[in-house]
Amino acid sequence: MGRLEQRYRVFSAFLKLYPPDYRNRYGQEILQLTADMLDEAPGRFARLLIWSRVLADLPLNIIVQQCSYVGGIMYKDTPGYIKRNGVVAGVMLLPFVGALVANLLDQLVNNHDLYNSWLWRAPALATWILYLPILAFLVAGISYAVYVSRGAGGKTWLKRALNIVVSWPVLVSGLTAFAILFAVAFHDSVHCWVQSPAHVATHLSQTWQCSERNTISLPTVFKRAFEL
Amino acid sequence: MKRSMQLLPQLSFSILMALSLKPRHGYEIMKQVKEDSLGKINLNPASLYTAIKQLTDDGLIEELPQEDTRRRYYQLTKEGWQRLNAELEYFDNTVKLARQRKAYDSNGVMVWAA
């Protein structure tokens, strides 16, 4: 650890949030420049002012550099099928987002609850918002599995599995699809768990039964969607 | 036909202006930009190096070879000089045009002609 890193430990830790390439290239210079500014400050208040400016300026620039870094990796290293399938899976989730917004408007304007809403009364749409997330989850999941299982680049499967900088397009789409399916299945049972933690802990079996009673299995949801 | 020019962001332009006098390191650039802007542009380290990286990637400035990695000196490249001159020419024309359009009302106060 260099002299400046020791002198400004916290600031050096913040600089570690920059992407590695950028940090190696400009980290020392940023540290030196900050030290120069502080050394020339006339008093304690001026130093405080400099710190507030320097720290306030940091987050946005870190985000900019991280986006540029991830964008660069995507451009160079991310396989075409990961990018393509990430976008395809993301597009499949758009009807759900659209339906959610429409349903929210329906609730606000017509005071309809979910089961009496425009969303639930449109079977085709209800099917889309269930089938498409499943399809999106499969597309994203299979793409991720293919990426992890392929031995390209001389990395172990574990390293590839953890290399989210490359696989994030399918991971984001896949996890969003999973969250949608989870929400569809469990949204009625949430109230069983949203109580005081002490009550849940002391009435675990009742809470579990309540949850099971109110959980909608996916086949039930599909059936309901087709019946309408 | 002359290709249309995308103007540089204010910060990048200020850095090129600061480097037009001589090669400088980060802190010198920061001080020169403040001086050139009469104290209006007060740069911070993170923003400065984001702009420096962008200008380096665009080939408008380059780093002078040296061993000290804490204080690297930057200078304009040939492309950087061309770009700075093009920008200055644009601003020069804009100021000339503004001067031509300047008018004064009956009280002698300057107004812009419609």
Please give the backbone phi and psi of residue B20, each rounded to the nearest 5 degrees, phi first.
-75, -20
On average, the pLDDT of chain A sits at 81
Identify the CA nearest to A143 among candidates A89, A72, A179. A89
On average, the pLDDT of chain B sits at 86
pLDDT at A228: 46
pLDDT at A170: 93
User: Which residue(s) pair with B62 in the sheet?
Assistant: B75
CA A103 to chain centre: 23
Q: Are A136 and A173 in contact, with CB atoms under 8 Å apart? A: yes
Q: Does pLDDT of B51 surpass 50?
A: yes
pLDDT at B55: 94
Provide the sign of the torsion angle of the four alpha carbons A63, A64, A68, A69, taken in this order: negative
pLDDT band at B99 (very low <50, low <70, confident <90, very high): confident
Report how far residue A198's alpha carbon sits from residue A203's, in angstroms, rounded to the nearest whole number. 8
Interval A126-144: pLDDT, tens? 666 778 888 999 999 999 9
pLDDT at A34: 93
Contact at CB, B69 and A29, closer than 8 angstroms: yes
Q: At what angle do helices B45-57 and B10-19 cross, to 10 degrees?
A: 80
A52 contact B CB<8A = no
Report how far residue A4's alpha carbon sits from residue A27's, in angstroms, rounded to the nearest whole number. 11
| Cα angle, residue A110 at apex, residues A106 and A112 outer, rounded to 5° | 70
In a mutational test of the A interface, the residue from B25, B29, B30, B49 whose CB has the highest number of chain A CBs within 10 Å is B49
Q: Are B39 and B16 in contact, with CB atoms under 8 Å apart? A: no
DSSP-derived letter for residue A189 is T
| Cα angle, residue A41 at apex, residues A36 and A45 outer, rounded to 5° | 135
CA B64 to chain centre: 20
Q: Are B102 and B114 in contact, with CB atoms under 8 Å apart? A: no
Q: Does pLDDT of B46 surpass 90?
A: yes
Give B69's contacts in chain A (Cβ within 8 Å). Answer: 28-29
CB atoms within 10 A of CB A99: 20
For residues B49-73, give the mean pLDDT. Answer: 89
Q: Which residues, 6+ apart, have CB-to-CB distance to B88 below 8 Å?
A: none
Q: Which residue did the predictor score with more confidence, A126 or B71? A: B71
Q: Which residues, 6+ apart, have CB-to-CB distance to B9 below 8 Å?
A: B51
Q: Are A137 and A93 in contact, with CB atoms under 8 Å apart? A: no
Hunting for tokens 């009280």 — which residue is that?
B107
Can you list the residues of chain A whose pLDDT is less than 70?
1, 75, 114-128, 151-154, 188-191, 193-195, 214-228
Q: Are B77 and B60 in contact, with CB atoms under 8 Å apart? A: yes
Model ipTM over 0.85: no
Contact at CB, A25 and B53, closer than 8 angstroms: yes
Nearest to A53 among B25, B44, B50 (CB): B44
CA B21 to chain centre: 12
Interval B13-31: pLDDT, tens? 999 999 999 999 999 999 9
CB atoms within 10 A of CB B16: 21
Q: Are B29 and B20 in contact, with CB atoms under 8 Å apart? A: no
Report how far residue A98's alpha carbon sits from residue A104's, in angstroms, rounded to the nearest whole number. 10
pLDDT band at B88 (very low <50, low <70, confident <90, very high): very high
What is the percentage of chain B residues whose pLDDT exceeds 70?
88
User: The pTM is what?
Assistant: 0.60
The distance of B61 to chain A (nearest Cα, Å) reads: 15
Q: Are A33 and B47 in contact, with CB atoms under 8 Å apart? A: no
For residues B51-61, give the mean pLDDT. Answer: 92
pLDDT at B96: 82
pLDDT at B104: 65
